């Protein structure tokens, strides 16, 4: 390991790290090309699939299936709980990647960080720590994106429910009101609503589609809204009344969250005051007097 030049090692690590990204890009472009051909209506579905596979390059017909087999093997040897947790984090973040791709990226980053630090430092302990960090950092980044996305959904939920309430009270059906809210809105919640409408269009019931909407996200208010709408359908309660009550409750909860955050500010300011501001203030105030006392005594 020590006999190889460092630029050779770094080049190999860069190539290894680029392989999953290239495969993901090729796979995404291939899927997009197939969707465009299918939407264009060129022949039947079977002919579209066969023509698409035959027109693909050698890399798309040979390399991608080979890595698909490797991904399936990697999924089999990985504990089920780990794969499910990765898939859950990816779903909350709204990313269009597979759990197997995430696993490969974690392993590649861990190996690259380990050998890179081992080459630069020459000590195993920092290299092991760097490898562990390379394995954990992708999960942390995806979890951070997921939390930000869930916060955006929570902030946009009251406005969407108000739009649904006004549309339903004006005589529009609930599904049509969802379509208007999805078309008028933007952001992750609008995307989730469009996904829910697509599930309804392919045959899922309203209760199933809304329950899937709540399961794909980790927002308690959204789950409460879905439960209320489902119960209104089961018990024959007017949807407009349920939406009005849900909108009022969300406004109250939003006010309570703002008050809670405002009350936490003094507690959070305690640590910077004690650790940073107070020591500097004491040095400025007591420092000159301490210097005079020291000079007088010496």
Coil, helix or strand at residue 32: helix
Residue 144 clears pLDDT 80, i.e. is over it: yes
Q: How far, in Å, CA of 15 to CA of 115, rounded?
A: 14
pLDDT at 17: 56
| Segment 200-259, tens digit of pLDDT | 888 888 888 888 888 888 888 889 888 888 888 778 788 888 888 888 888 888 888 888
Domain 152-253 has CATH 1.10.8: no
Domain assignments of the chain as residue spans, ordered by start = 1-77, 152-253
Percent helix / strand / coil, the chain, rounded to 5:
85, 0, 15
Coil, helix or strand at residue 270: helix
| Segment 90-142, tens digit of pLDDT | 888 888 888 878 888 888 888 888 888 888 887 788 888 988 888 898 889 99
Mean pLDDT of the chain: 77
Confidence of residue 23 (pLDDT cuts 50, 70, 90): low
Confidence of residue 50 (pLDDT cuts 50, 70, 90): very low
* Residue 52 near residue 37 (C-beta atoms within 8 A): yes
Residue 30 clears pLDDT 50, i.e. is over it: no
Q: Provide CB contacts within 8 A for 266, sequence distance 6+.
A: none
């Amino acid at each position: 390991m020590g006999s190889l030049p460092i630029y050779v090692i770094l080049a190999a690590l860069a190539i290894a790290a680029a392989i999953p990204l290239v495969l993901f890009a090729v796979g995404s472009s291939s899927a997009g090309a197939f969707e465009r051909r299918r939407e264009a209506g060129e022949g039947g579905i079977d002919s579209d699939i066969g023509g698409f596979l035959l027109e693909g390059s050698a890399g798309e017909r040979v390399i991608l299936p080979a890595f698909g087999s490797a991904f399936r093997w990697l999924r089999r040897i990985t504990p089920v709980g780990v794969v499910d947790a990765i898939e859950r984090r990816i779903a909350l973040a709204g990313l269009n990647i597979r759990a197997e791709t995430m696993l490969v990226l974690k392993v590649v980053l861990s190996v690259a960080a380990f050998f890179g630090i081992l080459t630069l430092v020459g000590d195993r302990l920092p290299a092991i720590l760097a490898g562990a960090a390379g394995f954990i950092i992708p999960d942390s980044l995806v979890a951070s994106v997921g939390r930000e996305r869930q916060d955006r959904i929570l902030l946009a939920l009251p406005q969407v429910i108000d739009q649904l309430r006004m549309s339903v009270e004006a005589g529009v059906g609930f599904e049509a009101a969802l379509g208007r809210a999805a078309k008028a809105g933007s952001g992750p919640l609008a995307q989730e609503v469009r996904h829910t409408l697509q599930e309804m269009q392919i045959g899922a019931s309203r209760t199933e589609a809304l329950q899937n909407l709540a399961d794909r996200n980790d927002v308690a208010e959204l789950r409460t809204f879905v439960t209320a709408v489902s119960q209104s359908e089961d018990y024959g309660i007017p949807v407009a009344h349920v939406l009005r009550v849900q909108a009022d409750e969300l406004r109250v909860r939003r006010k309570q969250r703002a008050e809670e955050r405002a009350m936490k500010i003094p507690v959070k300011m305690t640590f910077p005051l004690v650790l940073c501001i107070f020591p500097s203030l004491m040095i400025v105030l007591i420092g000159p007097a301490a210097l005079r006392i020291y000079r007088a005594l010496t």
